[in-house]
Amino acid sequence: MRSVADIYAAARAAGRQPVSFEIFPPKGDLTLEAAHEVAAELADLLPDFVSVTYSAGGSGNRQATADVAAMIHDDFDIPTVAHLTCLGATEESISRAIDDLKRKGIASVLALRGDRTADAPAAEGPFRFAKDLVMRLADEGFCVGAAAYPEGHIECTDFRASVAHLKQKQDAGACFFVTQLFFDNSYYYRFREAADAAGIAVPIACGVMPFLGKAQIQRMVFMCGASLPSPIIKLLAKYEDDPGSLRAAGIEYACAQLTDLQQHGADGLHVYTMNQPDIARACAGALRASWRPAGEAAVRGAGEPAGGRA
């Protein structure tokens, strides 16, 4: 299975940006059968890779993340990234997860600490932070990605410290980053400048999630600390009693975000699809329509066939 690092290198040589999708089950209850149906529709859009959240098979079946990732690659020839969290993990549990990923041929892993909850254990043991997991996975030969936070991590009030933590993940072996969602691209551009100044040299993909309803956006804002810009607040007010129009406006807003990021040279574009292929289709179409080639380089990815996947 091709690694994400190889995908980014090939895309850079071709003068284009990788476009990727994430299967993001809100309640963690994506079965293999349901994942296959979603993946079949995503495959038609020719993404550069698909990431699978942890756990994709329900909170009691975390092994399913690797199962879904392997299925997508084996059945559709799409490179995949399996998420892995380490909050409360032991050396034994991480070793088991690594063995399972290797058996299933997973080449790329997104290493995450995991969200704290009322039931989650305190950060202790050998894997207190994501950088600890990054180092272990890199030592095992995986292409390792990690999360980036354009507005800073919700538990860290010092933006400079958040960027410093990102550099620590790179130094530990991370070869790509995917950002937490954001709704105002100016925060990403500020963050990108700070990351460059801190010596972050690996690709940073921009993670974008459409807002589909008031309850969803409130939940995401409180979970990750993303700021709500005025245009979104006005859309929420305008379509408060019209869920269908609000959903359409949210997808349109995400498409505008992505095309702006594309035109400003973002390293990669990552869509949180929430298992809804029409979201991926709309975003891929918007990117395809706005894409401008670098010189004479041909583009492929997210719906633009050009002689095979890079």
- Look up residue 218 and give its two tokens: 């409130």
Tally helices (H) and strands (E) across the chain.
Answer: 11, 8
Alpha carbon separation from 59 to 28, 55, 84, 124, 185 (Å, rounded): 6, 6, 13, 21, 33
Whole-number pLDDT of residue 308? 34
- Coil, strand or helix at 19: strand
- Parent domain of 132: 4-290
Q: Is 143 exposed, middle or buried (0-12, 13-18, 19+ CB in 10 A)?
A: buried
Whole-number pLDDT of residue 122? 55
Domain tally, the chain: 1
Whole-number pLDDT of residue 24? 67
Query: Is 249 part of any domain?
Result: yes
Whole-number pLDDT of residue 200? 97
The CATH number that applies at residue 183 is: 3.20.20.220
Query: Is 295 part of any domain?
Result: no
Query: Is 85 part of any domain?
Result: yes
Residue 294: CB atoms within 10 A of its CB come to 12
Whole-number pLDDT of residue 29? 62
Q: Are 227 and 211 in contact (CB under 8 A)?
A: no
Q: Per-residue pLDDT tens, the chain, 310 aa: give them.
A: 899 999 999 999 999 999 999 996 545 566 788 889 999 999 999 999 999 998 544 444 556 889 999 999 999 999 999 999 998 889 999 999 999 999 999 999 999 988 665 555 555 668 888 999 999 999 999 999 999 999 988 888 889 999 999 999 999 999 999 999 999 999 999 999 999 999 999 999 999 999 999 888 888 888 888 999 999 999 999 999 999 999 999 999 999 999 999 999 999 999 999 999 999 999 999 999 987 664 433 333 443 332 333 2
pTM score of the predicted model: 0.88
Q: What is the C-alpha separation between 71 and 48, in angstroms, rounded? A: 16
Query: Is 258 part of any domain?
Result: yes
Query: Is 306 part of any domain?
Result: no
Whole-number pLDDT of residue 206? 98
Measured on CA atoms in the order 62, 67, 70, 76, is the torsion positive or negative? negative
Q: Which residues contact 78 (CB under 8 A, 6 or more apart)?
A: 39, 42, 43, 47, 49, 50, 72, 309
Q: Which residues are catalytic?
A: 22
Q: Which residues contact 55 (CB under 8 A, 6 or more apart)?
A: 28, 61, 62, 63, 64, 65
DSSP state, residue 150: T
Query: Is 148 part of any domain?
Result: yes
Across 177-190, b (16+ Cβ under 10 Å) vs e yields bbbbbbbbbebbee
Whole-number pLDDT of residue 214? 87
Whole-number pLDDT of residue 221? 84
Whole-number pLDDT of residue 295? 41
Query: Is 180 part of any domain?
Result: yes
Query: Is 300 part of any domain?
Result: no
Alpha helices in the chain (DSSP H): 4-14, 32-43, 64-76, 91-103, 130-139, 159-172, 185-197, 214-224, 230-238, 243-263, 277-290
Q: Is 158 exposed, middle or buried (0-12, 13-18, 19+ CB in 10 A)?
A: exposed
Whole-number pLDDT of residue 75? 96
